[in-house]
Every structure is written in C-alpha cells, then in structure tokens.
Amino acid sequence: MAALHPSRPFRRPTLPSRPSSPSSATLRRFSCALAPSPTWPKRPYTTVLIVPTGVGAAVGGFAGDALPVARTVAAVADCLISHPNVLNAAMLYWPIPNALYVEGYALDRFAEGYWALQPVHQNKVGLVLDAGIEEELRVRHLQVADATRAALGLPVIEYIVTDTPLKVEKWIDPKCGKSTGRIGNSDSLLRAVDFLVNHSEVNAVAVVARFPDDDDTEDLENYRQGKGVDLLAGVEAIISHLIVKEFRIPCAHAPALLPLPMSPSLSPRSAAEEIGYTFLPCVLAGLSNAPQYVMRRQGSSANGCVVAGDVDSVILPANACGGDAAIAFARSANKNKPLIITVQENETVLDDTPEKLSINAVKVMNYWEAIGVIAAHKAGVDPKALRREGIANLRRKSQSCLANCKASTNISVHDKVCSYS
C-alpha cells in the first residue's frame, strides 16, 4: 500500500467525464422490480423514504430502527429509494432487492433534477481508515472487512490509511438541537479518497473515522435507552457529503469507537451498535450495489437511469420537511408531482412542518397509515376514498372562470369543441 505524503496538497481528481444525458447504448433500461405483467402494463411505482440524520427522530433516529419501515414500504412499492440513516443498522443489515442506497447529498441533487441514479450489479468498494484509529481497533475493522469479503462475497478491494489523523469533533447545535460537528483535517480525507479513486479503480468508498468517546454520560445513556439525539450522526453526514460532492461516487461512514461497558437495560432501538466492535458491515453491504450518480441537465432524458420524475411518493417525518430533497420534491414542476406523505408519530427536534413551508401533504399518524396510502396510490385509488366520509361532493367550476378562459383565448366555446371533433 502506497504511503501518502502529509505535505502534499489535495488536488481535485481527474475523473472520467460523465455524460449529461446517458445514451441507450451505454445504459440499459432499469426497473427496481420484476417487469409488470404484460396484461397490465404499468411503470414501476417508486417511493422515497427520508428520515433526516441526527435530529432525534422517534423512528429512524437510532441504530437501524427505521429499517423495518423500509422493508415494509419496499414490499408495497416497486422501487424504494432511501439513504444510509434509514438502511444502516451497524452490525446488522437486510438486503432489499428493490431498494436504492443513496447518500444524503446525492439524494438532494437527485430530487432537484441535477443527478440521476444509475443502478449497478456491483461496485468496487475502497475503504479509508483514519490514522487516528488505535492499532487494535484498526485490526478489528480490517477483520470485519475481510469477513464480509469471505462470508458475503462483497467486492471490497483495497484500503488506505489517511496520512494524518482526521480529528473529528461533534456537538449539539444549540439553535435547533440536532447533532453536528467538523473534521479537523478534511484535506487528509480527500487525499486518501483521491488516491483510491485514481490508483485502485474503486467507484464507492467506505470511511471509518475515529470519533471522540462520549464524555457526556447523560446524553450517551439517553441514547442507549432509546431517547435523545444520536451525537455521531450529524458529523457522519458531513463526512459523506464532503466526499460525494467532490467525487460523485457512493459513500457512507462508520465511526470507530471503543466498546462501551455492557448495559443490562439497553433499548432494542440502540442495541445494534453494541453487538460487535464496529459499525462497518451494513456500510459495506449497502455500498456494494449502491447506484452510481450521473450528472444530467434538468429535464433531459436519462435512459436507463432513475430520475426525479420517476418518483411517485415521498414519506417524511411531519416536522422535518425543510431539507433540500423534501423541498425539491414538494415544489417539483413535473406534471406528475409526487405525493408527499408526512408521519405525525415520527417526531424530531426540528419544526419544519408542511404548513410553515406551504407544502401540500397527506398527513398520517404513523407508518402503518403511510403504507396504506402508498398501496392506494399505487392502485390508482384516491387514498381519501378509504376513509369514512373521505370523499366530498364533486365541485362545479364557476361560470366566471369559463368566461375568463374564453376571453383570454378569443375562441368561442363552439369553435373550440368543433376543432377537436
């Protein structure tokens, strides 16, 4: 393994140019699920499931506790698009054949129409280890990587150690209560990824950074009891966002921490993080077949890729609708705008409600109801028709509106009808 010189400045990598509009010659048509029956031709129904990271979500704010939601949604939708905070469960993972594992920054750009998702059979995954990880803990992570290669056949092809410790810091934002942080030596991280991308031909990267061990025992104990905010999650997102923005490849992060003393009263929602030495297995499994990110002009065709216009519905916590992806989907100019579903039961520390953001949303109490709404929407049924007195009398359009329309076009109603007969 080649060493990196600590004084070498980071240079933007020279990557193969990515076509703004992939041709059918290079990309195959993709469906997340089996093709619909020839007797009932419909395009695949696509749902995006979002639970923001580090905001204390009642469901999805702990160690993989939103994964049961993802599994169930994927059983109803033909294609599920979600992100590591939902699909990762530390030492645990669950293969969902019709799910696309998309990092948060990439999900935002996808929703805005700037990036498309190109499904793959397999990625070549590189592993970056923080130089600040102690020797024994580093060996544990390498053993996990080797175990996934031998037992799961995952394509983890090479690893590299950063030339200097990354010096990760984390804290709670006093303004909104979500977790955040910073990387003291971000250039060292970028140099390591640059080396893997340009010298090892990897097209997905897993990062393991040494995180400070919790000195606030109260916050840590709250999290272990299934309460409060995940102190690690905010800066984990900063790390993966940095890499995805710079290199446009799938990335996810696993923190390196010393094992905690055993707790006999651990919450099931936090337990996945305490059954092994690392959080790496789910990250490697997710990255092994995560879609690649393809830049595209807004509105251009992307044959063979999944684009924002393919999304039929989006599920969000009720007070976490202020993210870039949520805003983009809600304000989409596409004729078939996705149905926005907000879940009241999944509370967070945020206060970004649909009302405050002028988002038209279907409000449900819990994920049971959200999945019912998706099933109705996929079937072409107005979800309100499933409720008692959910359908009101059909409204009549006012005559004044028709008169205004006639005046603006200067065409008589008779002429307009005859012209299409």
Q: pLDDT digits over 363-395, tens only?
A: 999 999 999 999 999 999 999 999 888 888 898
Using the CB atoms, write b or e for 51-70: b if 16+ within 10 Å: bbbbbbbbbbbbbbbbbebb
The predicted structure's pLDDT at residue 336: 82
State pLDDT tens for residues 127-163: 999 999 999 999 999 999 999 999 999 999 999 999 9
Total residues found in the chain within this entry: 421
Pairwise pLDDT comparison (6 vs 51), residue with the higher score: 51
Q: Which residues of 181-218 are buried (b: 16+ CB within 10 A; e: fewer)?
A: bebebbbbbbbbbbbbbeebebbbbbbbbbbeebeeee
Q: ∠ CA 103-108-114 to the nearest 5 degrees?
A: 110
Among 105-114, 144-153, 295-304, 368-377, the range scoring the smallest mean pLDDT is 295-304
Lookup: tokens for 143: 């053993």
| Mean residue pLDDT across the chain | 86
What's residue 409's pLDDT?
58
Give ∠ CA 346-343-235 in degrees, rounded to 5: 45
Q: Per-residue confidence at 265, pLDDT binned at 50, 70, 90?
A: confident
User: Side chain identity at 206, as an amino acid letter?
Assistant: A
CA distances from 289 to 29, 208, 248, 346, 389 (A): 17, 19, 15, 29, 45
In the predicted structure, residue 418 carries a pLDDT above the cut 70: no
| Of the candidate ranges 103-107, 329-333, 345-349, 407-411, the one whose mean pLDDT is the lowest | 407-411
Share of the chain above pLDDT 90, in %: 64
CB 208 within 8 A of CB 232: no
Instruction: Kindly tell me if the per-residue pLDDT of 29 is higher than 50.
Output: no
Residue 412: pLDDT over 70: no
pLDDT the model gives residue 223: 80
Question: pLDDT value at position 414?
Answer: 46
Nearest of 156, 130, 132 to residue 143 by alpha carbon: 156
> How high is the pLDDT of residue 159?
97
**301 vs 244 pLDDT, higher one:** 244
